[in-house]
Each structure stands twice: as C-alpha cells, then as structure tokens.
Amino acid sequence: MSDAKIPLAGVIGNPISHSRSPLLHNHWLRTYGIAGHYIPMHVESDDLERVIRTLPQAGFVGANVTIPYKEAVMKIADQVTDRATLMGAANTLIFRADGTILADNTDGYGFITNLAQSAPDWQPASGPAVVFGAGGACRAVIASLLEADVPEILLTNRTRDRAEQLQQDFGPKVRVVDWIQAANIVEEGKLVVNTTSLGMVGKSRLRIPLDGLRSDALVTDLIYTPLKTDLLATAEEMGCTTVDGLGMLLHQAVPGFERWFGQRPEVDEAARAAALA
C-alpha cells in the first residue's frame, strides 16, 4: 500500500450539521477517483485559531468556513485575497506548502457563475439590478454584479444604515431605496435578487409586492431551502426567468476543490443531486 498522503479538507462552522458541503465535495472526490476526504468540523470560537493552525499538520490542504467564522478567519490567515478583503469575509482557506494560510471569498464567483450557467441569455449590462437585503452575502452579490458590468444597483434593506454602508463601500452605482419603497423599484430590475433570509424554511415570508416585475426580468434567490421560494414561484408565474440559490452554493465550492485536489469539478445535475441528498 502506498504511503502517499491522502489530502483532507472540510468545512468549519458552528453549527455545522446542516452543511451540504461534505455531500458535494465527497461526490466530486468519488466522481474523479481522488483519494481524499472532506469532513464537517464543529469548532467552538475559543478553539478556532488553534484548530486552523493544527489542520495543515494533520494533512489538511484547506477548508471552507461558514457561519459564524467568515469574518474571524480573516484575522487568522497570513494572507487575504483582495476580493475577500472587499467582501469583509472569507469562505475558503488554502493551506500552502510553505505553511502559510491564504483566505479567499468565492461567494461572488459562485453567484455570478450560477447566473451565467443557468440563465445564459441574461446580459449584465442590459439594465439595473434590484437587490433586497444588505447582509454578509449581499456584499459578494454587489461586488460580482459590478464586476460583471451591471450599470446600476437599486439596494433596499430593512435596516437602511447597512445598505448605506454598502453604498459607501461600492460607490455611486449603488442607489439606496427605503425598504418601504421596495415595491416601487421592482419594475426597474432587469435582474431581481433576494439576499435576505426572508422566505427560507422557518423564517418569515418576503412580503414585498411583486406586481411590478417585468416579464423579461431574471429573478434569483440566494435561499435554497426551499429550492423554489415564493419569490421564484411568483416570478415564474409572471413569465420571468428564475434561478434558484443551490447553484450558487455549488459554484462557490469549485475554486476551493480545484486548489485543494487539483481537479476542476463540474457543476452538473449529479452534483446538484448529491448536494440535495
């Protein structure tokens, strides 16, 4: 038997049992015949730095990071990519051969690549995007939309200050609109994105009236439990193209898997089915 090191990776969070990442990465490891493992790691906050520093010595080549540690790991890493700095959070760690740790954020890549794959006719430059919410995931959405050349982003959030902070960070292409006015801007969106947690299983409904939705709009939701949120169901009834949030989760995993295991994985029906298992 060979004594070559088996590459290990995993996802760090608290709680972690809900994470779909182990199902997805282990599906890819099996698909490509890679002798590696990917495990969920429930870590307490007091142990976070020690655990992360120990993982490379135990054969780990990297890790994903989820709630509540996406910000904390930025201080632990030796180097942070520009896009993670811009987003103020990291979801992917790379343990390099020289012992240093690189923190990256692939959520924006996952978001925009999901739209490109699932709605190939959508032209980012064709019109404004309307974005609901201004939390952590929204930063990644805004950064990737601006990079893709969306001309304007109309941003609305229950807590206006958070939206204004994003406007300050991302500049004049972001226009903040009061939450109470959200229904009035829906008609301006060639793209409409829900980045709030409203509509998720166990949470309240997204109550923004959608009568103004244009039938040529692309509508997407970051939520993937349920897969078809009320927003997506309504948009579909109104003739819009819709894209669910599972694809973002799958695509954000691609760069990490490729860096750790040396194979660029496919986001296809089999990967979707594995993540939903």
The footprint of ligand NAP (CB under 6 A) covers 107, 110, 133-138, 157-159, 162, 195-198, 200, 204, 222-224, 245, 248-249, 252
Nearer Cβ to ligand NAP (107/152): 107
Q: How far apart are CA 85 and CA 104, in angstroms?
A: 8
- Among 5, 70, 75, 190, the active-site one is 70
Closest to ligand NAP by CB, 15 vs 99, is 15
Shortest separation between residue 71's beta carbon and ligand NAP, angstroms: 10
- What are the start-end ranges of the E strands in 195-252? 218-221, 241-243
- 114: CB partners within 8 A, 6+ apart: 220, 243, 247, 248, 250, 251
Contact yes or no for 222/197 (Cβ under 8 A): no
* CB 238, min distance to ligand NAP, A: 22
Nearer residue to ligand NAP within complex by CB, 73 or 222: 222
CB of 102 vs ligand NAP, minimal distance in Å = 21
Q: What is the rounded CA–CA span in Å between residue 255 and residue 104?
A: 10
Give the residue among 49, 57, 65 at the shortest CA–CA distance from 14.
Answer: 65
Residue 75 annotated in active site = no
Query: In this complex, which beta carbon is closest to ligand NAP, that of residue 7 or of residue 272?
Result: 272
CB of 152 to ligand NAP, least distance (A): 19
| Helices (runs of H) and strands (runs of E) counted in the chain | 12, 12
Known catalytic residues are: 70
